[in-house]
Amino acid sequence: MPLITRGQQCRSLHELAELLTVWRDTTSEPTISGGTDSRKGYLGVAIGGVECGLAGDTTRAGVQRFLTSGQATARSAVVPRAGGAMQRVAFGRSATPIHGFYLYTNEPHWRPFELDAPYVTAWRILDGVAALHRRGFQTVRALPGMSPSGTSWRVSVAPADNIPERRMYPDLRDWDLGIHYSIGAGYEFAARTVTASSTGDDVADLIIAAAPWRVVKAHDWAYAGWFGEMLGLAHELEGLPIAYDYGYEPLTAWTFATLDEVRSFPDPPRHQSSSSDT
């Protein structure tokens, strides 16, 4: 009997990678089904809220490529397949399928779209704040930073008058008047699931509904412009922004958590708003 049986389910790409690592290291089977089953939905996995299936004829070489190329933590996307009857899951910036690794969505899709990316919920929260600014809710703020251990990114969403001027520590003036998220929470934000299939506008609606303060329309064009430019650079660098850490001195600029380089961005302008409640 093969180690991986038809119908098994994984809740994430990370869990899939763990299972495939055990399979690679403890068996000599040529395919994940042991060569007995080539059907597409042999092993199930949820990616960004989308149900997918790994085909039973996925090869040992394909699994090895998946595990050793960092794809378990890379961006994943659905790409067209000839005829459109099924969609292949591809990885990386170039959205390239892995040879011998036959992963498909369970349902057909008719356009390419992103399934998941590293820290996708964190990115969607920041996109949600930017969406609120576009709607005119420009006194909503995101305060991102690192945990005391330096290993976990976190963010608080709060009104501008609840954000301290200097950010040596992530202490809001009133912690309860904020919505808080840490990477350790996975896809959960404000008691809801936020994945790659969520949009910035979806998260903006969620913030308005979940906010423990009254979210009103108020213009702060300087901050909204600053935030949009900062977030654009963060996406370009693929590095989450950091406004504070637990060092001995407050940070004098925002930085970006990238693997290749350390980049900084000036602090946001001081809060200036004109209220126009609607």
81 pLDDT exceeds 70?
Answer: no
What is the average per-residue pLDDT within 174-181? 95
Distance (Å, whole) CA 77 – CA 89: 6
pLDDT, mean over the chain: 86
Single out the residue of 78, 128, 148 nearest to residue 106, CA to CA: 78
Distance (Å, whole) CA 104 – CA 145: 36
40 pLDDT band, cuts 50/70/90, is confident
What confidence score (pLDDT) does residue 210 get?
A: 97
What confidence score (pLDDT) does residue 259 get?
A: 52
pLDDT tens-digit series, residues 7-21: 999 988 888 989 999
Distance (Å, whole) CA 261 – CA 161: 33
Among 24-28, 104-108, 143-147, 252-256, the range with the most confident prediction by mean pLDDT is 24-28
Do the strands 43-47 and 9-10 form a parallel or antiparallel pair, or are they unpaired?
parallel
What is the average per-residue pLDDT within 65-80? 78
Do the strands 274-275 and 218-219 form a parallel or antiparallel pair, or are they unpaired?
antiparallel
What is the average per-residue pLDDT within 29-57? 91
Would you state the structure tokens that stand for residue 254, as one six-digit string? Answer: 């925002």
What confidence score (pLDDT) does residue 162 get?
A: 93
278 pLDDT exceeds 50?
Answer: no
230 pLDDT exceeds 60?
Answer: yes
What confidence score (pLDDT) does residue 43 get?
A: 96
pTM above 0.85, yes or no: no
125 pLDDT band, cuts 50/70/90, is very high
Which ranges constitute the DSSP H helices of the chain? Answer: 13-26, 60-68, 120-135, 200-210, 221-237
Taking each continuous run of H as one helix and of E as one strand, the counts in the chain are 5, 17
Q: Buried (b) or exposed (e) across 156-176, using 16+ Cβ within 10 A?
A: bbbbbebbeeebeebebeeee
What confidence score (pLDDT) does residue 11 get?
A: 87
Distance (Å, whole) CA 224 – CA 52: 38
Q: Which amino acid is at 255?
A: T
The rounded percent of the chain whose pLDDT value lies above 90 is: 51
Within 13 Å, how many C-alpha atoms sit on residue 183's CB side? 15
Place of tokens 């009133």: 174
What confidence score (pLDDT) does residue 275 get?
A: 59
What is the average per-residue pLDDT within 201-221? 96
pLDDT tens-digit series, residues 94-119: 788 899 999 999 888 777 778 877 78
- Number of residues written out for the chain: 278
Would you state the structure tokens that stand for residue 24, as one six-digit string? Answer: 């690679």
Could you please report the per-residue DSSP string of 221-252?
A: HHHHHHHHHHHHHHHHHT-EEE-B-SSSS--S
Among 27-41, 85-99, 142-156, the range with the most confident prediction by mean pLDDT is 27-41
